[in-house]
Amino acid sequence: MTTFQTINPTTGEPISTYHEMPFKETKKIIDVTHQAYLQWKKVPIAEREHLMKKVAKYLLDHKEEYATLITTEMGKTITSARFEIDRCIRICNYYAEHAHQYLSPHIVNTEMKKSYVTYQPMGIVFAIMPWNFPFFQVFRFGAPALMAGNACILKHAPVTTGCALAIEKIFQAVGFPDNVFRVVIANNETAAEIIADPHIIGVSLTGSVRAGKSVAATAGAHLKKVVLELGGSDPYLILEDADLALAAEQCVKSRLNNTGQVCIAAKRLIAVEAVRPEFEKKVIEKVKECRFGDPMDPAVTMGPMARADLRETVHKQVQECIEKGAELVMGGEMVSGSGFFYPPTILKNIKPGMPAFDDEIFGPVIAFIDAKDEQEAIRIANQHPYGLAAAVFTQNTERGEVVAKQLEAGTCFVNQFVLSDPRLPFGGIKESGFGRELSAEGIREFVNIKTIGVK
């Protein structure tokens, strides 16, 4: 039996030990979850709404407990962890209040006596979720899936196994039927067997491009639908008429949030030539205000990275950029002592062929990329294989919208850093994945959109 430990990234010390379930064990969970689904899908939506609101209340009542668990397991600041629980509460309440609207039959006038579209549950949604937002990512898929009448099985990142089991207990505590939401502790090989099981109707994955391609291939072999939210290397365009103080503040907040371990962080700062020196100066000033250290200290704004190997990868990427000609402005050194800390780092003169230009750096690294003008900035932004999100800074908001429409991304904000909102669909294009979460589009991803006509 394979076991693993969760590690506190602040201290480097073990937290808990878990064992991976063999497929035989996960198969039992699949079967009981399927039986639970057969009853759950019949539950009136008003009752589902009531239960989901109870989840929101339970999260509120236990916010400090869950925020502390998040910080202990993956290292984000306690302030950010509390905000994450707040976002989960918002999602639960949002779908409790809007699911009926999104799932109600849609009348279509045709030559028939009656024709309409219905949205019916389909079965078990299998979710493979990451460690960087260990509660929020789960509720982002789980709340709409459950409100649609589906059941859920979660495979969480090993780093945040404690969070996964805590979430499972929440649904039990508030009165959801047994086995409607279950957790499996499984490796990738077992996950592939789970995907192949006939009771699994679809897969929701948030993770790396490599993981997305693997899951999509497995699901495709069994004709299972997938929603993939994968990597991002989001471009933030700073035009010559931008409010530079605002742009710098928003870019730094986005990039250093969660120690840079965010898919939709501002990973490529592309400032046009006319304002580049002043913008870079303001960004540097903002980064110097960052205080990193013990994430349980409310005064700390940046905690450790989630794992030692993640820190090592980021450092290697930074060193490769420097070796290929990038200028190190600040940071870029491994922090001695316990824990997996990495300092806020700024790189200038980023060019094609460097990891900060071509790939995704999943850590607190700000990359300045030069552009002569607006059109070159757009071209640079779009030449990346990812297309998750983007932002544009200009005091002419109409101009900002024009530029936003030209950027190859699933989401683009003007004069604000990108943050997912339950009222708005969220997802990417190109190698950032496909499908959408949140809003009406999210709850309709794993339903049977059935047309009914009566002559």
The strand order across the sheet containing 225-229 reads 181-184, 151-156, 124-129, 200-206, 225-229, 433-434
Q: Which is the catalytic residue, given 263, 280, 360, 437?
A: 263
Distance (Å, whole) CA 180 – CA 319: 47
Q: Which is the catalytic residue, given 229, 360, 374, 437?
A: 229
Q: Are 5 and 158 in contact (CB under 8 A)?
A: no
Both tokens of 63, joined, read 């916010």
The answer to whether residue 229 is catalytic is yes
Q: Are 21 and 347 in contact (CB under 8 A)?
A: no
What are 454's strand-pairing partners? Answer: 114
Strand 389-393 and strand 234-238: pairing?
parallel
Among 432, 367, 396, CA closest to 207: 432
Q: Are 270 and 405 in contact (CB under 8 A)?
A: no
Strand 114-121 and strand 447-454: pairing?
antiparallel
What letters, b where the CB count within 10 A reaches 16 and e where it falls short, cover 166-183? Answer: bbbebbeebebbebbbbb
Distance (Å, whole) CA 370 – CA 271: 6
Q: Are 298 and 81 in contact (CB under 8 A)?
A: no
Q: Number of helices (H) and strands (E), helices first, in the chain?
A: 15, 20
Both tokens of 56, joined, read 């929101």
**H helix intervals, 261-324:** 276-288, 308-323
The answer to whether residue 152 is catalytic is no
Q: How far is CA 443 from the centre of its chain?
A: 16
Give the burial class of 299: count Cβ atoms within 10 A of its Cβ; 0-12 exposed, 13-18 middle, 19 or more buried: exposed
User: Which DSSP category does 302 fall into?
Assistant: B
Strand 3-7 and strand 411-414: pairing?
unpaired
Integer CA distances (angstroms), 150 to 98, 129, 448, in order:
16, 18, 11
The angle at the Cα of 85, spanning 83 to 89, to the nearest 5 degrees, equals 115
Amino acid symbol at 19: H
Residues with catalytic annotation?
Answer: 229, 263
